[in-house]
Structure formats: C-alpha cells, structure tokens
C-alpha cells in the first residue's frame, strides 16, 4: 500500500514527530511506502510531492515546523478541486491519505471521505479547540512559550510601573490565554468565549497598582469587549472564510491609559507561539498520534481521527471532531477569575 501524508493550516511544534512516527512504524511493520504532499491540500491538488522513507524522517523528533510545508489551501474553493485531487491520488498510486491539521484541514478531509477518498485524520492545533480529543499537540509548547514571556514581562513591568498587555493566539477559543495566564499570574485574562467589561478590567488594573505591583493582562486575539466586535488586522478573508485578527492588545492598552492614567504597553507573541522545539509532552502526544494513525490505515478505519481520551488514544469519526469547536467552559474561567486584580 502507498500512503500519502500532508500537514495543513498553521504549523506547530510536533508535526514532524507525527510524520516520523507514521513512517517509522509503517515501513518496517506493515511494509507500506509513503509519499509526502507539499504545502497542505495544495500538494494533492497540484501533485506536489516529497519522498518519505526512514532516512527522510531521521532527526525530526525535536524539530519544529513541518518538513512537508503547509498552506491554507481549500480544494473546495478551487474549480474542479476535488476531481483533481482524486485524479492525482490515482495517478500517483496513493491508496490512502493521512491528513494532519486543525478544523479546516480536517473539515476538508471529512468531506473527501464522504466522497469516497480513504482518509485518516490527526488533530493538530495550538489553540486546542478541536472537539473529540482532550488535547492536541502544539498546545503545550505554545502555553509554555506564552508563560515564559509573561514571567519575563513581570519584571520589566514592575521596573517601569507599567501595565503590560500580552496578546496571544486564540481566534474562537481562549485555552492558551487561560492556561498561560493562570500559570504566569496574570492580573486579568480575556478570552473569546466571554465578552469583557473594559471598566472592570481597568478596576483590576488599578487594584494591582494600589498594591505596588504592575499588572499583566493576557488577552486572546479573538477576545471582544461587550460594546464592540473583534478587532481585525484587515477585512480580507482566507480560503476558508476567516478574517485576520489582531490588534485587541493595542486597543486595550489605549483604553487602560485613557481610563486609568497609567502607562500601558502591548506585546504580541504571534507566531513565536508556533515556532521552535516541541516540549516533551507534545513530542509524546504527536508520536502516539502518528503510531495510531498508521494502525488506523492498516485496519481500514477510514473517516476516523486519532484522539486523546484521558491517557488512551482512541479513534473518533472525523465528522464528530469537526462539527463544533471545543471552547472554554465558563465555570473553568470563573476559577481563574478569583485571582484577578
């Protein structure tokens, strides 16, 4: 059997570990051959390939990013896109496809499965917002990067008696903000799931200053105040219909300065959260996902996705994993709110 592998959407630490695990088990145990598709769904759409064998995956475990490249290509937005993918898979002799990605990449995989393509999914997103799995790899690394940044910002904030706003990724789900903010001792955490009251945020900031501490506010890029919508970098949309977010941190800094009279500065972590070496936990999870993904291919479990449930790796339908996003429960946020201010 010849198996195609692709990585789509935003890159994250751990992608290479999945590719490595798939090949390292698939070649010696099942006798499969592997073909990597370049740049997400653009690979099978345009027949852009990269050979994958055991020498090609050596040394990948600690390496960030993806050796296959990625993109936000949506074949369903391209004329005859699905037909081209089906034709290219047949011409290349690819019998099955392992798609590694988030909601959009796996959403395409779900539709292709329904159209007869043999697909197995592996969940990937630093936002940790995919239903069906307790955690996705990349998330732990992103949280650790954000937490270290918050730790460093505490000292400079106190030296200059400033309020510092840390803007982290999180379009629809505030998992990174919540975890890193709690771990870093933030004075406030603002997430997309709960619209915030800017007056309340300013009271938290002022209470922190009264105690002779400089406040740190951690905010997801998709967080919204009660009286306005999300802040956009531009109105342009990508192939999946998503607008580009960014700027809520600067908006917050301006509001805090205007309402409290205190100096405020913003640090946008951006793609720093996606880059670099994966943590041990993400290497472990990505490796287990890869091993179970190739097992699913061998079993013919098409239309399924690997998922972490407790400490076990299970298979769940792709349709279940992509039908809705996993967002922060208000009760969990309320636990964190106890420490604000």
Q: Which residues are catalytic?
A: 127
Is 140 known to sit in a ligand binding site? no
CB 44, CB 4: distance < 8 Å:
yes
Is 199 known to sit in a ligand binding site? no
Q: CA-to-CA distance for 306 and 291, rounded, in angstroms?
A: 10
Is 103 known to sit in a ligand binding site? yes
Q: How many C-alpha atoms does 332 have within 13 Å on its Cβ side? A: 14
The residue assigned the tokens 């990625």 is 70
Is 221 known to sit in a ligand binding site? yes
Is 90 known to sit in a ligand binding site? no
CB 283, CB 14: distance < 8 Å:
yes
Is 80 known to sit in a ligand binding site? no
> 69, 40, 100: which is closest to 287 by C-alpha?
100
Is 314 known to sit in a ligand binding site? no
Integer angstrom CA distances of residue 20 from 17, 34, 52, 55, 293 = 5, 11, 9, 10, 12
Name the H helices within the chain: 15-30, 42-46, 81-91, 103-114, 139-160, 175-183, 198-210, 248-260, 280-299, 318-322, 330-337
Beta bridge partners of 264: 163
Is 162 known to sit in a ligand binding site? yes
Q: CA-to-CA distance for 59 and 135, rounded, in angstroms?
A: 25
Q: How many C-alpha atoms does 306 have within 13 Å on its Cβ side? A: 30
User: How, if at all, do strands 119-123 and 232-237 pair?
Assistant: unpaired
74 SS3 class: coil
Is 127 known to sit in a ligand binding site? yes
Q: CA-to-CA distance for 164 and 179, rounded, in angstroms?
A: 18
The residue assigned the tokens 């020498």 is 55
Is 265 known to sit in a ligand binding site? yes
Is 233 known to sit in a ligand binding site? no
User: Rg of the chain's alpha carbons, rounded to an integer?
Assistant: 21
Is 126 known to sit in a ligand binding site? yes
| Binding-site residue positions for substrate | 125-127, 162, 169-171, 221, 265, 271-274
| Binding-site residue positions | 10, 103, 125-127, 162, 169-171, 221, 265, 271-274
């Amino acid at each position: 059997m010849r198996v195609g592998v692709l990585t789509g959407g935003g890159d994250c630490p751990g992608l290479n570990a999945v590719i490595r695990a798939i090949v390292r088990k698939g070649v010696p145990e099942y006798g499969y051959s592997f073909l990597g598709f370049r740049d997400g769904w653009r690979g099978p759409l345009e027949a852009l390939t990269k050979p994958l064998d055991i020498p090609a995956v050596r040394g990948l475990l600690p390496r960030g990013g993806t050796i296959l490249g990625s993109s936000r290509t949506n074949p369903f937005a391209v004329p005859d896109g699905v037909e081209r993918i089906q034709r290219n898979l047949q011409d290349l002799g690819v019998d099955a496809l392992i798609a590694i990605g988030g909601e959009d990449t796996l959403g395409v995989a779900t539709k292709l499965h329904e159209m007869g393509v043999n697909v197995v999914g592996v969940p990937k997103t630093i936002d940790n917002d995919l239903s069906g799995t307790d955690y996705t790899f990349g998330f732990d690394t992103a949280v650790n990067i954000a937490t270290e940044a918050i730790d460093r910002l505490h000292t400079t904030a106190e030296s200059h008696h400033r309020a510092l706003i840390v803007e982290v990724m999180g379009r629809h789900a505030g998992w990174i903000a919540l975890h890193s903010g709690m771990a870093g001792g933030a004075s406030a955490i603002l997430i997309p799931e709960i619209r915030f009251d800017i007056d309340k945020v300013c009271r938290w900031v002022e209470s922190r200053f009264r105690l002779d501490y400089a406040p740190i506010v951690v905010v997801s890029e998709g967080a919204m105040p009660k009286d306005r919508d999300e802040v956009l970098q531009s109105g342009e949309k990508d192939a999946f219909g998503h607008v580009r977010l960014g700027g809520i941190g600067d908006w917050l800094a301006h509001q805090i300065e205007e309402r409290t009279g205190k100096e405020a500065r913003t640090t946008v972590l951006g793609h720093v959260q996606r880059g670099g070496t994966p943590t041990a936990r993400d290497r472990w999870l990505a490796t287990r996902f890869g091993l179970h993904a190739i097992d699913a291919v061998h079993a013919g479990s098409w239309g399924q996705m690997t998922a972490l449930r407790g400490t076990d790796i299970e298979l769940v339908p792709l349709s279940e994993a992509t039908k809705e996003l996993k967002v922060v429960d208000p009760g969990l946020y309320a636990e964190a709110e106890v420490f604000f201010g």
